[in-house]
Structure 1
Amino acid sequence: MERLKTDMVEIGEGQKRIREGQREIRQKFEEIGSECRRLKEETMNIAKQSDYNQVRINLMFSILKAREDNNFAHADHLTGLLRKEMEKQEQGKAGLVGCLMIMENDEQFAFAVTPDRPFL
């Protein structure tokens, strides 16, 4: 009978250690999940910023191209779009500029400028 009590105490202690281990593992999983969510959000923010940077670079390139082609009205229009985009980003409302009209050899072309479809 004494041996049975000793075994029961040992089993109880073992179960207690198991529960404690499970609690620690659960806590670690929660920490990992939280860190994963934070990293995913940070990655999305970096990707979004990269997209906005690409749009601005594309606009700058288009401005240079328009100036090179002596199309100063178009360069002025693109510069205005770039300014608006920069102001929006400073306000935390970075929206993309929309549609660009390009004149080349007396032909007019429209291009959508979005992060997934940058102008180039």
Structure 2
Amino acid sequence: MKSFYVAMKSLHSPSKHRCIATAMKSSQRNKKLRRKKLKRLNASMRRLKVETNEIRKEQEIIKRGQREVREKFEAIHYECEQLRTETDLIIKQSRNTRLRLGLMFQILRARESNDFNKAASLTQLLRELVAKQNNQ
């Protein structure tokens, strides 16, 4: 029975109360520290989310800009092809015009020199050339 009394007395001793109080205080301190850490972590997570959203918006702007540049480049490329085609057509027409003018000049020289056979054959050649160019 005495040991029970001693055990009960030891539970009610002031040093035990101090240990329990100290343990409770330290657990309260730990809770406060955990809360502070959790608040810091939540704040940094919010900052990261905001930064992530900003980066996402910037990336969308960049993608949109790249799309616009690509579309402009394709439009320029299409115009360049059209200009090439038109240039080729003008060169072809110019070559045909020079050829006809050359034949006409030879016909005039042949007529001046009274070479009517040559003038007739050149005139026939000119007619065939004009007919061929009109068919194209």
Alignment TM-score > 0.5, same fold? yes
Q: Which runs of 5+ in 2 are unaligned?
A: 1-44
| Equivalent-residue separation in structure 1 for 2:76 and 2:62 (angstroms) | 21
Correspondent of 2:98 among 41, 45, 54: 54
2:108 aligned partner: 64
Structure 2 matches for 1:102-117, cutoff 5 A? none
Q: How far does residue 7 in structure 1 lie from its aligned partner after superposition?
A: 0.4
| Equivalent-residue separation in structure 1 for 2:132 and 2:107 (angstroms) | 19
Q: Which has the larger radius of gyration?
A: 2
Q: How many residues align?
A: 92
Q: Which structure carries more strand by proportion?
A: 1
Q: Which runs of 5+ in 1 are unaligned?
A: 93-120
| Equivalent-residue separation in structure 2 for 1:50 and 1:35 (angstroms) | 22
Question: Runs ≥4 in structure 1, deviation > 6 angstroms?
Answer: none
1:4 aligned partner: 48
TM-score normalized by structure 1? 0.76
Q: Which structure has the higher relative contact order (CA within 8 Å, separation 6+)?
A: 1
| Equivalent-residue separation in structure 2 for 1:78 and 1:3 (angstroms) | 89
Q: Which structure carries more helix by proportion?
A: 2
Structure 1 vs Structure 2 CA RMSD:
0.4
Residue identity matched to 1:42: E
